[in-house]
């Protein structure tokens, strides 16, 4: 991977010339439509998945609560990630799907804005908190669940254009 003009690695935007951490100034960047999608999984025992799929979890509707938690988390990303900008989100979505091949749950999340910076962190935060919520609501049945494969799936907009992983 090379930086601008192909000369060496890309510059770290959150570090100034003296090596100090800083928040990037996006004030002069044009407002454009920006979108991002992220995904992740939580693997669990067959017993936990059966309980989840039957809707009989002691703490209630796991998938609905996790979806709402993910949406709320996207809206609070700047409070959790120190150098993230507050982004006026125009749309956030989180979907959860049972997957017996894991066994577990696949989560995807997306965020959209029109502004001067992207929403990758918001999409990633939505997915991560949704996964943590599934863990929290099923931990009495399976404390050995594993959260993983959290990653950016795609982003669109801004100077760097489109990216798909």
Q: Which superfamily does 31-158 belong to?
A: Molybdopterin cofactor biosynthesis C (MoaC) domain (3.30.70.640)
pLDDT tens profile 40-60 = 999 999 999 999 999 888 888
One of 16, 18, 61, 136 is an active-site residue; which one?
136
Query: What pLDDT was estimated at residue 56?
Result: 86
Contact between residue 124 and residue 107 where contact means Cβ atoms under 8 Å apart: no
* Tokens of residue 151, six digits: 């990653």
Task: Give the model's confidence band at 158: pLDDT under 50 very low, under 70 low, under 90 confident, else very high.
Answer: confident
Query: What pLDDT was estimated at residue 1?
Result: 37
Query: What gap in Å lies between CA 114 and CA 122, rounded to an integer?
Result: 14
Query: What gap in Å lies between CA 135 and CA 150, rounded to an integer?
Result: 15
Annotated domain spans of the chain: 31-158
- Kindly tell me the burial class for residue 132, based on how many C-beta atoms sit within 10 Å of its own C-beta (0-12, 13-18, 19 or more): middle
pTM of the model: 0.85
pLDDT tens profile 69-124 = 999 999 999 999 988 889 999 999 999 999 999 999 999 999 999 988 899 999 99
Query: What gap in Å lies between CA 96 and CA 75, rounded to an integer?
Result: 18
Q: Is 136 a catalytic residue?
A: yes
Q: Between vectors from CA 116 to CA 129 and to CA 160, what angle results, nearest 5°?
A: 85
Query: What gap in Å lies between CA 8 and CA 54, rounded to an integer?
Result: 54
Name the helix (H) or strand (E) containing 97. strand 89-99
Beta-carbon contacts of residue 158 (< 8 Å; ≥ 6 apart): 29, 32, 34, 117, 118
Query: What pLDDT was estimated at residue 14?
Result: 64
- How confident is the model over 5-22, as a mean pLDDT? 62
Q: What is the DSSP string of 5-27?
A: GG-SSPPPTTB-TTS-B-----T
């Amino acid at each position: 991977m090379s930086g601008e003009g192909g000369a060496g690695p890309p510059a770290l935007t959150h570090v100034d010339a003296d090596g100090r951490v800083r928040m990037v100034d996006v004030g002069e960047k044009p407002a454009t439509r920006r979108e991002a999608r992220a995904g992740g999984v939580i693997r669990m025992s067959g017993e936990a998945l059966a309980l989840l799929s039957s809707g009989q979890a002691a703490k209630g509707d796991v998938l609905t609560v996790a979806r709402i938690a993910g949406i709320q988390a996207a809206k609070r990303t700047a409070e959790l990630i120190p150098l993230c900008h507050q982004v006026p989100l125009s749309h956030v979505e989180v979907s959860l799907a049972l997957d017996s091949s894991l066994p577990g749950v696949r989560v995807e999340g997306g965020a959209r804005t029109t502004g001067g910076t992207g929403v990758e962190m918001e999409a990633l935060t939505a997915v991560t908190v949704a996964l943590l919520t599934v863990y929290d609501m099923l931990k009495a049945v399976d404390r050995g669940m594993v959260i993983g494969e959290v990653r950016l799936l795609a982003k669109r907009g801004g100077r760097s254009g489109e990216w798909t992983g």
